[in-house]
């Protein structure tokens, strides 16, 4: 068996796809493309397919990863074969998923979910239009300098506990855009997981007394960073 790492985009047409529906979509496309899928062992075999990080409903992305197992001898795997698989899978996808790249993974490659180190996001808030934008930027700068940002989260026992999310983000910035506000920042993986980016924006708006229930946030993931890649986030500002 070989594994191929596919890079893909999810665009506006499929932004409301759930993670489970995305898995099913990939499985159907893989069958249509007639790729020689490898299956897990055991009582209920399923295609060997793993995503780097689950995408939230409503999110679009420029850079996602999926590792897919194919039942082929290692000696058949080369760059030309990977490109053929990319082209066949891309042709089988509906509008909203674009397969942009493919690479053969070395035997024993690390699990994709354990390789995620960070993600770059843009969140657009169409209802957030501050006329005093310079003051707003000063509030963001103050938020960036905090050593602790506490939010409440329900633990596994169902009890609400406080959690410091400050290690989870860097480089929060914002610009006026189309009568709304676009936030740009990096989410850092903490204990091998990424916090939902909306939590960070909600915490900031709460800190300045500006958050309200039902506040619309349009989330776009610009980049998913893996181990051994140059990280876009430097420092903790």
Domain boundaries of the chain, sorted by first residue: 2-114, 116-226
Q: Does residue 142 carry a pLDDT above 60?
A: yes
Euclidean distance between CA atoms 94 and 143, whole angstroms: 41
Q: What is the CATH number of domain 2-114?
A: 3.30.70.580
More confident residue, 72 or 229: 72
Which DSSP state fits 77? -
Q: Are 233 and 168 in contact (CB under 8 A)?
A: no
- pTM listed for this prediction: 0.88
Euclidean distance between CA atoms 15 and 147, whole angstroms: 34
Which of 81, 48, 47, 59 lies closest to 15 in space, CA to CA?
59
What is the model's pLDDT at position 229?
A: 61
Looking at the DSSP bridge assignments, the partners of residue 9 are 98
CATH 3.30.70, applies to 116-226: yes
* Fold agreement (2-114, 116-226): yes
Residue-wise pLDDT for 143-166, tens only, equals 999 999 999 887 778 888 899 999
Looking at the DSSP bridge assignments, the partners of residue 182 are 124, 175
Q: Name the residue with tokens 């897990």.
A: 40
Residue-wise pLDDT for 48-60, tens only, equals 999 999 999 999 9
Euclidean distance between CA atoms 10 and 42, whole angstroms: 32
């Amino acid at each position: 068996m070989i594994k191929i790492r596919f890079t893909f985009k999810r665009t506006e047409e499929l932004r409301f796809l759930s993670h489970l529906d995305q898995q099913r979509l990939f499985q159907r496309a893989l069958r249509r493309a007639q790729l020689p899928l490898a299956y897990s062992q055991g009582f209920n075999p399923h295609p060997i397919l793993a995503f780097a990080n689950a995408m939230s409903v409503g999110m679009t992305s420029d850079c996602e990863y999926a590792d897919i197992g194919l039942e082929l001898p290692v000696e058949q795997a080369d760059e030309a074969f990977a490109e053929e698989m990319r082209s066949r899978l891309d042709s089988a996808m509906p509008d909203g998923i674009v397969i942009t790249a493919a690479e053969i993974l070395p035997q024993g490659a690390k699990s994709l979910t354990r390789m995620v180190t960070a993600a770059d996001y843009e969140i657009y808030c169409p209802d957030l239009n501050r006329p005093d934008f310079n003051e707003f930027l000063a509030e963001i700068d103050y938020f960036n300098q905090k050593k602790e940002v506490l939010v409440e989260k329900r633990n596994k026992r169902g009890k609400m506990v406080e959690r410091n999310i400050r290690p989870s983000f860097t480089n929060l910035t914002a610009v006026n855009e189309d009568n709304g506000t676009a936030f740009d920042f990096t989410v850092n993986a903490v204990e091998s997981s990424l916090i939902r980016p909306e939590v960070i924006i909600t915490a900031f708006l709460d800190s300045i007394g500006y958050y309200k229930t039902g506040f619309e946030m349009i989330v776009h993931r610009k980049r998913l960073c893996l181990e051994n890649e140059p990280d876009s986030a430097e420092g903790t500002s």
